[in-house]
A and B are shown apart, each in its own frame.
Chain A
């Protein structure tokens, strides 16, 4: 298998090249520009058979993707931040039409104030659009998960976005173990659309009022329910063939942990090192890295997390509910009817790309040990590395 040094963006572009989708319609945006730029060069160099549609905006990009998907094509695109926000109304259309489109997303904050750096506001902002959402920790995961995304999405007929953290991963070069082109093609298999405008006379996207809209939405929810086991099945197939494990989440040293830190994206890597250091000091702490935000694996998380005394959530975005970040809110809800309640605390960190280092995560973990001793959460939602 080829070993390459790639940035997160290059890894995603290479995955797209090997997938060789029928259609890519995309509009470049920092920090995802390189994905689109590299893929355009693959098209120009004849490395792929893809019809590359250059468009005037992200709204048009996703519109073209939906049209192409309706025509039976395997479709991919890439965007970030304002680009994903501009796609917003059509994200719902893609999901409602059950179009298995794959977006390679780079997590970047949303304006205003304008900022090009990492947080999860853009991706979390579209979490109710009906898309499967998977967070990658690094470039290797971005590559592996983009390949798996094709299979997951095409099986459940829901669109999917795989995301990396802006600059921290999108622009960091690291070792990536790639698969051979032929292995990728064998893994994803050929695409045969369930419904295509070219197969028979069908109507896509007609008016659907009081008498059927509700049933169709209910089916979409059912499809998302059925996605969780498919994510696990595809991950198992990937692991058995290529040796790297994925799934809905990764539970690291959680088995006997009294405190479990829950996070998604690149911060999980830094947290893992902190966990190892604290374990050496005899502190029973673990990490739960959330891959899947949608569907949110509430049943399984309840099983894994309700044994702990404290769940410490790291959220890289906020909810204006003023009840903390989206991961915390989901998790709190998931654990509400667990037989045994762990305490829960949320730390909002890294908005607009502010770095979070090992010292800060260690500090959070040690505060957690004190919360366990006191058996009391004084302030459920706090901010890390913020001037107040």
Chain B
């Protein structure tokens, strides 16, 4: 990762796009790298389409403009495929990761993408199974880790464990373990190319 690597997260207010961007950035920083993590600066409403962003690099990042041509786009909510320009600006050699039941091949036709890599994972299903709720953001961290070369699974899980234990202190270890399992399951189940 010699250059600055740019990620755009698409979700709906309440799905944790911003939280995922912050957590991923922090996890990458814990391996000695540099990060930026920022939300789209607009009204925050539950259910409304939102975006969050990451810049990641081995060295200090001095770009402070918006991200227009991301290397990776991550879609937390499949309904956004219909309503939002989710592939806008995605680099020709870029990657898109979608929380969906569709196969990568079906998605390629639907999104009309020729050169980009396309990956899918049922993050919603994984979170319902392991967390009992629709929380696609943590599984998508696992998918992102598998698909990109930014951080190893062990480093991600180590950081996520630390962070989630702090966040859910006193609420039992089940929720932390569930989240970590969700990350690993999505890591192992993401498919495409």
Enumerate chain A interface residues (CB-CB to B < 8 A): 3, 5, 117, 137-138, 165, 167-169, 171-175, 266-267, 269-270, 272-273, 353, 355-358
Interface size on B, residues (CB 8 A): 19
Per the 8 Å Cβ criterion, residues 12-63 of B in contact with A are: 22, 25-26, 29, 34-39, 41, 60-63
Judge whether B66 is part of the interface by a CB distance below 8 angstroms: yes
Judge whether B64 is part of the interface by a CB distance below 8 angstroms: yes
- Do B38 and A269 touch across chains, with their CB atoms under 8 A apart? no
- Do B62 and A167 touch across chains, with their CB atoms under 8 A apart? no
- Do A117 and B37 touch across chains, with their CB atoms under 8 A apart? no
Max chain A Cβ within 10 angstroms of own Cβ: one of B36, B60, B64, B68: B64
Question: Knowing that A5-B26, A168-B64 are A-B contacts, what are 19 other residue pairs whose CB atoms are under 8 Å apart, sorted by A's residue number?
Answer: A5-B22, A5-B29, A138-B64, A165-B64, A171-B38, A173-B22, A173-B26, A173-B37, A173-B38, A174-B34, A174-B35, A175-B29, A266-B64, A269-B62, A269-B63, A270-B64, A357-B65, A357-B66, A357-B68
Contacts of A137 in B (CB 8 A): 62, 64
Contacts of A138 in B (CB 8 A): 62, 64
Q: Which residue of A lies closest to B64 (CB)?
A: A266
Considering the chains assembled together, what is the distance between the CA atoms of A125 and B35 in angstroms? 33
Ordered by A's residue number, 15 sampled pairs between the chains whose C-beta atoms are within 8 Å are: A5-B29, A5-B37, A169-B64, A171-B39, A174-B34, A174-B36, A175-B29, A175-B35, A269-B63, A270-B65, A272-B62, A273-B63, A355-B65, A357-B65, A358-B65
Contacts of B34 in A (CB 8 A): 174-175
Instruction: Compute the total of residue contacts between A and B using a CB distance below 8 Å.
Output: 61
Question: Contacting A173 at CB < 8 Å: which of B36, B64, B66?
Answer: B36
Considering the chains assembled together, what is the distance between the CA atoms of A175 and B27 in angstroms? 12
Question: Contacting A273 at CB < 8 Å: which of B22, B26, B62, B68?
Answer: B62
Nearest-neighbour CB distance to chain B for A342, whole angstroms, equals 25
Q: Which residue of B lies closest to A265 (CB)?
A: B64
- Do B25 and A173 touch across chains, with their CB atoms under 8 A apart? yes
Considering the chains assembled together, what is the distance between the CA atoms of A270 and B68 in angstroms? 14
Nearest-neighbour CB distance to chain B for A104, whole angstroms, equals 19
Question: Contacting B63 at CB < 8 Å: which of A3, A173, A175, A270?
Answer: A270
Contacts of B38 in A (CB 8 A): 167, 171-173
Contacts of A167 in B (CB 8 A): 38, 41
